[in-house]
C-alpha cells in the first residue's frame, strides 16, 4: 500500500492533468476564434500561478509564511527586461532571471531564516517593500514608470521556434514551463528531502532529534521558491512588454497568497487553480464594478473560515479515496497471481 | 571499559534556580540506567542537556569517551544518540509509516535524498521491521493523530530505534499508559537493552526497581545517590527525600 503522502501527490497529478487538458483545449479554441485578449489573460494567470506555487512550497509544505514573494518575481521580471532590451534572447533573459533570483533568494534566505513565525513573515514583507521602494526611486531602472520598450522575442525550442508575440504560442510555452515547475517540485516532494520539508511544517521541534538540520532544508525550500518565482517573473515582460515597480508591491505578494489559500495550500496544484480562478474572477467582476477587490476579500475570508483546504479540498479527498481503491485492487491482483 | 555515556559536573541554572547542579554519572553499555527523583528534581532538564536541547553552563558530556558537550540535537543524533519525549512529540498529520520513514531515512546514503522515497533499501526494511515488532501492521497507514495514547507512546520508542542508535534515552515512556500497556512496554525496554544502552526517566517505582541495572537519584537539581536498585532503595537520604513522600 502507498503512503498517504504518495496518494496525496497522485491526487494532485490527477487535478493537474485536468487543468492541463482544460488549458490546452481552451488555448486551441481561443486561438481558432481569433481571440487575443483571453489568451493573453490566461497566459498572465499561468505566469502568476508560478508565483503562487512558489508561495505554496513555503506555506503549504515547509510551514513558512512569506508575505514578500513578489520580490523575487520582480527581480526576475526586471533582470529579464534589462537583458531583453540589450539582447533579445529568450533563453539568455530567462537564465539571467533565474540566476539573479537564485542570488536574491540566497541573500533573502540568509536574512529571513534567522527568525521564525510572525517575524519571518514580517521580514519577508519588509525586504520586498524596501527593494520595491529602491527601484521606485531609481531613475536608471525607470523609477515609478518602470521599463518599457521590451521587444518581442523568438523562442527557439530546438525543433521549432515560437514567438512570444503569438498569443497561442506564448500561452503554450508558459503552460509547458508551469508543467515543468509542477513536475519538478512534485519530484522534490516525493524524495526523502521533501519528507523533511513536510516534517518541518508538521513539527519543527522534533526534526533535529531525528538527525536533520532544520536550517538547511528551510533555506533550500526558500531558495527553490525564490528561483521559481524569479523564473516565471522573467516571462512577464515577454508577455506585457514592460515592467513596473508594482510587480514587487505587497498587493502582488498578497494576491498570490490569496490564490494559494483559495485554491488550497499544500497541494501545489491548488495554487495554479487558485491563480486561474482569481485572475478570471477579477477580470469578469472587474468589468461590472470597480469594487471587485471587496468581493475578492470576502472570498478570501470565506476560504479561510469554511474551506481550510481551499477549493481543491472539496474534490481531492474523493480522488484520493478512488486512488486508494485502485491501488488496493492492483495489489489484490498481484497477490492473486503470485504462486 | 569506557562507559557508553558519561557526564561530569553538568550544570545549568535558570535565573537563580540551579536546575541541574554538578551532576556526574555514567551509563554502562547495554545496561538500563534510570534517573529518578521527585517532580522538579531536574530529570528532564538533565535529559535536555545530554541530548542537545539545552547547552550546559558548565560540565561535559561524553559519548563513548568522546567529548560531545555543546553539540546540537542533530549532531548528537548522528553520533548515535536518540531520545523520546515526556509529552508525545510526533508528526501527527503523517501516518505511522511516514513517521517511522522520516526517522529511518538517515540510514540510507545521502545520495538517496535525491530519489523518490523507496519501498526498498535499508530505511524501508527498518520501517517494516519496526512496524512488525511494535505491532503497528494494521495501523501503518493511520494518521498518528488517530492513534490511542498508548500507541503514540509506543511509536515514540519505535521512532527512536529507527535510526539504530547506540544510546536510547526514554523520558517517561509509560507516562499515562494503562497497567497492561505499562507491563508490555517494560518487557520491550528490557528486550532492547541487549542491543542498546538505555537511559530512562521513570516515575513508576515498581517498574524502576524491576527494570533498572543502575539507578541515579536526583533531588533539587543535585545527584543525591546512585547504585543498584536495592542499594538506592535502602539509602536513608533517598528514603527521606523521595520514598518518604511517596
pLDDT of residue A338: 55
If we measure between CA atoms, which residue out of A91, A233, A95, A63 comes closest to residue A153? A91
Q: How far is B20 from chain A (nearest CA, A)?
A: 21
B115 versus B226: which is more confidently predicted?
B226
Which residue of chain A comes nearest to B159, CA vs CA? A210
Which residue intervals of A33-147 are DSSP H helices?
37-56, 70-86, 90-112, 117-136
Q: Does A193 touch chain B (CB under 8 A)?
A: yes
Share of chain A above pLDDT 90, in %: 68
**A213 → closest Cβ in B74, B90, B102:** B74
Listed range (A28-37, A42-51, A275-284, B236-245) with the worst mean pLDDT: B236-245
Alpha-carbon distance values, A47 to A152, A180, A236, A275 (Å): 17, 13, 7, 9
Give the closest residue to B23 by CA, choosing from B51, B55, B49.
B49
Test B106 with A212 for CB contact under 8 angstroms: yes
Name the nearest CA neighbour of A226 among A96, A64, A81, A54. Answer: A54
Q: Does A211 touch chain B (CB under 8 A)?
A: yes
Decide if pLDDT at B120 tops 80: no
**CB of A5 closer than 8 Å to CB of A267:** no
What backbone phi and psi angles, to 5 degrees, belong to B224?
A: -90, -35
Closest-CA residue to A225 (of A104, A317, A80): A104
CB-based contact A208 B159, cutoff 8 Å: no
pLDDT of residue A34: 85
- The pLDDT of residue B235 is 86
Question: CA angle A39-A43-A44, nearest 5°?
Answer: 120
- Chain A contact for B92 (CB, 8 A cutoff): yes
Q: Is A215 part of any domain?
A: yes
Distance from CA of B167 to the nearest CA of A (A): 13
Q: Looking at residue B107, what is its pLDDT? A: 87
Q: Among A1, A209, A211, whose Cβ lies nearest the Cβ of B141? A: A1
The reported pLDDT for the residue numbered B243 is 59
Tell me which residue of B51, B40, B60 sits closest to B222, measured CA to CA. Answer: B40
Residue A10 to chain B, least CA–CA distance (Å): 13
Could A4 and B72 be called an inter-chain contact, meaning their C-beta atoms sit closer than 8 Å? Answer: no
pLDDT confidence of residue B44: 93
* Segment B181-190, tens digit of pLDDT: 898 899 999 9
Which domains are delineated in chain B? 1-80+165-246 (3.40.50.300), 88-164 (no CATH)
pLDDT at B206 over 70: yes
- The pLDDT confidence band at residue B205, using thresholds 50, 70 and 90, is confident
Residue B246: its pLDDT value, please? 43
A3·B73 Cβ contact <8 A: no
Closest Cα in chain A to B105: A192
Q: Is residue A204 part of a domain?
A: yes
Torsion angles phi and psi, residue A116, rounded to 5: -130, 165
Domain count, chain A: 1
**Is B22 at the interface with chain A, CB within 8 A?**
no
d(CA A269, CA A185): 11
State the CATH number of the domain containing residue A57: 1.10.3470
Closest CA to A75 of A267, A312, A254, A243: A243
A334 reaches B (C-beta below 8 A): no
pLDDT tens profile A44-102: 999 999 999 999 999 999 999 999 999 999 999 999 999 999 998 999 999 999 999 99
Q: What is the DSSP string of A172-211?
A: HHHHHHHHHHHHHHHHHHHSHHHHHHHHHHHHGGGGGGGT
Residue B61 in grid coordinates: 558530556
How many Å lie between the alpha carbon of A74 and the closest alpha carbon of chain B?
A: 30
Does residue A9 sit at the B interface (CB-CB below 8 Å)? no
CA distance A142 to A147: 5
pLDDT, tens digit, 9 for 90 and up, residues B6-58:
999 999 999 888 999 999 999 999 999 999 988 888 999 999 999 999 999 99
Nearest to B214 by CA among B200, B203, B224: B200
Give A337's pLDDT tier (boundaries 50, 70, 90): low
Average pLDDT for residues A226-230, to the nearest whole number? 97
Is the CB of A331 inside 8 Å of chain B's CB atoms?
Answer: no
Give mean pLDDT, residues A253-280: 93
Is A194 inside a domain boundary? yes
Sheet holding B17-27, edge to edge: B17-27, B5-14, B58-63, B66-67
Out of A1, A206, A208, name the one closest to residue B72 (CB): A208
Residue B245 has pLDDT above 80, yes or no: no
Q: Is the pTM of this model over 0.80?
A: yes
Give CA separation, B30 vs A69, B36, B167, B211, in Å. Answer: 52, 19, 9, 13
Tell me: pLDDT of A295 over 90. Answer: no
As a whole number of angstroms, the distance between CA A227 and CA A103 comes to 9
- Per-residue pLDDT at A339 exceeds 70: no
The verdict on a CB contact (< 8 Å) between B116 and A213 is no
Cβ-Cβ pairs closer than 8 A, A with B, add up to 83
Of B73, B92, B97, the CB nearest to A208: B73
Query: What's the pLDDT tens digit per position in B125-164?
Result: 999 999 999 999 999 999 999 999 989 999 999 999 999 9
**Judged by CB atoms within 8 Å, which residues 129-188 of A form the interface with B?**
187
Over residues B57-76, the mean pLDDT reads 93
A339 part of a folded domain: no
What distance in Å separates the CA atoms of residue A263 and residue A279, rounded to the nearest whole number? 12
Residues of chain A neighbouring B141 (CB-CB closer than 8 A): 1, 3-4
Q: Domain residues for A281?
A: 4-333
Q: What is the pLDDT of residues A182-220, one digit of tens each?
A: 999 999 999 999 999 999 999 999 999 999 999 999 999
Using the Cβ of B200 and the Cβ atoms of chain A, whether some distance falls under 8 Å is answered with no
Cβ distance B113 to A5 less than 8 Å, yes or no, reads no
Inter-chain contact A210–B51, Cβ cutoff 8 Å? no
E-strand spans in chain B? 5-14, 17-27, 32-36, 58-63, 66-67, 81-83, 167-171, 197-201, 214-219, 222-227
The answer to whether the CB atoms of B92 and A203 lie below 8 A apart is yes
Domain annotation covers residue A289: yes
In a domain, A133, yes or no: yes
Amino acid at each position: 500500500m502507498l503512503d498517504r503522502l504518495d496518494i496525496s501527490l497522485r491526487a494532485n497529478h490527477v487535478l493537474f492533468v485536468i487543468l492541463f487538458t482544460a488549458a490546452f483545449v481552451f488555448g486551441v479554441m481561443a486561438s481558432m476564434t481569433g481571440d487575443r485578449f483571453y489568451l493573453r489573460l490566461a497566459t498572465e494567470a499561468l505566469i502568476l500561478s508560478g508565483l503562487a506555487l512558489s508561495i505554496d512550497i513555503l506555506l503549504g509544505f515547509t510551514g513558512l509564511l512569506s508575505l514578500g514573494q513578489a520580490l523575487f518575481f520582480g527581480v526576475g521580471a526586471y533582470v529579464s527586461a534589462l537583458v531583453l532590451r540589450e539582447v533579445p534572447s529568450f533563453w539568455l533573459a530567462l537564465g539571467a532571471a533565474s540566476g539573479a533570483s537564485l542570488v536574491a533568494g540566497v541573500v533573502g534566505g540568509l536574512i529571513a531564516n534567522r527568525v521564525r513565525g510572525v517575524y519571518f513573515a514580517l521580514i519577508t514583507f519588509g525586504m520586498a517593500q524596501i527593494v520595491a521602494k529602491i527601484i521606485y526611486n531609481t531613475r536608471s531602472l525607470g523609477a515609478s514608470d518602470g521599463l518599457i520598450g521590451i521587444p518581442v522575442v523568438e523562442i527557439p525550442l530546438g525543433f521549432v521556434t515560437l514567438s512570444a508575440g503569438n498569443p497561442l504560442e506564448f500561452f503554450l510555452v508558459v503552460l509547458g514551463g508551469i508543467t515543468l515547475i509542477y513536475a519538478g517540485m512534485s519530484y522534490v516532494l516525493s524524495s526523502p528531502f521533501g519528507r523533511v520539508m513536510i516534517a518541518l511544517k508538521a513539527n519543527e521541534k522534533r526534526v533535529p532529534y531525528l538527525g536533520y538540520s532544520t536550517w538547511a532544508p528551510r533555506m533550500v525550500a526558500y531558495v527553490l521558491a525564490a528561483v521559481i518565482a524569479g523564473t516565471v517573473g522573467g516571462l512577464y515582460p515577454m508577455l506585457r512588454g514592460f515592467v513596473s515597480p508594482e510587480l514587487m508591491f505587497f498587493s502582488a505578494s498578497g494576491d498570490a497568497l490569496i490564490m494559494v489559500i483559495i485554491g488550497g495550500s499544500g497541494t501545489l496544484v491548488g495554487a495554479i487553480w487558485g491563480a486561474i480562478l482569481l485572475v478570471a474572477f477579477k477580470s469578469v467582476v472587474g468589468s461590472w464594478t470597480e469594487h471587485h477587490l471587496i468581493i475578492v476579500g470576502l472570498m478570501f475570508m470565506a476560504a479561510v473560515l469554511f474551506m481550510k483546504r481551499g477549493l481543491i479540498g472539496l474534490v481531492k479527498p474523493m480522488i484520493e479515496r478512488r486512488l486508494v481503491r485502485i491501488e488496493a485492487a492492483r495489489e489484490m491482483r498481484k497477490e492473486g497471481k503470485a504462486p | 571499559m569506557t562507559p557508553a555515556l558519561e557526564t561530569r559536573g553538568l550544570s545549568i541554572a535558570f535565573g537563580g534556580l540551579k536546575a541541574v547542579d554538578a551532576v556526574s554519572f555514567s551509563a554502562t553499555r547495554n545496561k538500563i540506567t534510570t534517573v529518578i527523583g521527585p517532580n522538579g528534581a531536574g530529570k528532564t532538564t538533565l535529559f535536555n542537556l545530554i541530548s542537545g536541547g539545552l547547552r550546559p553552563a558548565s560540565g561535559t558530556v561524553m559519548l563513548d569517551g568522546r567529548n560531545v558537550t555543546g553539540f546540537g540535537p542533530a549532531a548528537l543524533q548522528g553520533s548515535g544518540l536518540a531520545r523520546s519525549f515526556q509529552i508525545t512529540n510526533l508528526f501527527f498529520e503523517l501516518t505511522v509509516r511516514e513517521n517511522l520513514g522520516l526517522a529511518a531515512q538517515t540510514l540510507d546514503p545521502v545520495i538517496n535524498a535525491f530519489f523518490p522515497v523507496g519501498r526498498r533499501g535499508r530505511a524501508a526494511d527498518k520501517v517494516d521491521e519496526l512496524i512488525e515488532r511494535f505491532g503497528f501492521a494494521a495501523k501503518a497507514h493511520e494518521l498518528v493523530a488517530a492513534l490511542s495514547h498508548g500507541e503514540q507512546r509506543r511509536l515514540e520508542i519505535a521512532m527512536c530505534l529507527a535510526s539504530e542508535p547506540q544510546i536510547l534515552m526514554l523520558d517517561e515512556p509509560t507516562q499515562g499508559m494503562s497497567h497492561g500497556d505499562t507491563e508490555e512496554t517494560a518487557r520491550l525496554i528490557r528486550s532492547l537493552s541487549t542491543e542498546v544502552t538505555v537511559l530512562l526517566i521513570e516515575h513508576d517505582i515498581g517498574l524502576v526497581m524491576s527494570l533498572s541495572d543502575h539507578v541515579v537519584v536526583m533531588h533539587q537539581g543535585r545527584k543525591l545517590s546512585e547504585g543498584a536498585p536495592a542499594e538506592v532503595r535502602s539509602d536513608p537520604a533517598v528514603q527521606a527525600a523521595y520514598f518518604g513522600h511517596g
